Amino acid sequence: SADRKFFVGGNWKMNGTIESGKKLVETIKSAKLDSNVEVVVAPPALHLLPVQEALKGTQIQVAGQNAYHQVSGAFTGEVSVSQLQDANIPWVIIGHSERRTLFGETDANVAEKTKAALKHDISVILCVGETLEQREKNESINVVVRQLDAVKKEVDDWTKIVIAYEPVWAIGTGKVATPEQAEEVHAAIYDWAVKNLGQGATDKLRVIYGGSVAGKNCKELASKPSILGFLVGGASLKPEFVDIINSKL
What residues are annotated to the active site?
Answer: 96, 166
Q: Which of residues 60 and 170 has its CB atom nearest to ligand PEP in the complex? A: 170
Cα 103 from chain centroid (whole Å): 18
Residue nearest ligand PEP by beta-carbon distance: 233
Q: Work out whether 213 is an interface residue with ligand PEP (CB under 6 A).
A: yes
**Pick 211 or 229: Cβ nearer ligand PEP:** 211
State which of residues 40, 143, 177, 231 lies at the interface with ligand PEP (CB under 6 A): 231
The distance of closest approach from Cβ of residue 133 to ligand PEP in the complex, given in angstroms and rounded to an integer, is 18
Query: With respect to ligand PEP, which residue has the nearer C-beta, 82 or 236?
Result: 236
Min separation Cβ 235 and ligand PEP, Å:
6
Instruction: Please state the closest distance from residue 210 (CB atom) to ligand PEP, in A.
Output: 4
- DSSP states along the chain: -GGG-EEEEEE--S---HHHHHHHHHHHHTS---TTEEEEEE--GGGHHHHHHHTTTSSEEEEES--BSSSSSS-TT--BHHHHHHTT--EEEES-HHHHHHS---HHHHHHHHHHHHHTT-EEEEEE---HHHHHTT-HHHHHHHHHHHHHTT-S--TTEEEEE--GGGTTTS-PPPHHHHHHHHHHHHHHHHHHT-HHHHHH-EEEEESS--TTTHHHHHTSTT--EEEESGGGGSTTHHHHHTTT-
Residue 141 amino acid letter? I
Determine, following the binding rule CB under 6 A, whether residue 228 of this chain makes contact with ligand PEP: no
Binding to ligand PEP, residues 15-74 (CB under 6 A)? none
Told to check if 95 binds ligand PEP by CB under 6 A, we report: no
Instruction: Pick the stretch among 48-56, 83-91, 151-159, 229-237 that binds ligand PEP (CB under 6 A).
Output: 229-237
Site size toward ligand PEP, by CB under 6 A: 13
Site pattern 148..177 for ligand PEP (x: CB under 6 A) = ------------------x----xx-----
Residue 210 makes contact with ligand PEP by CB under 6 A: yes
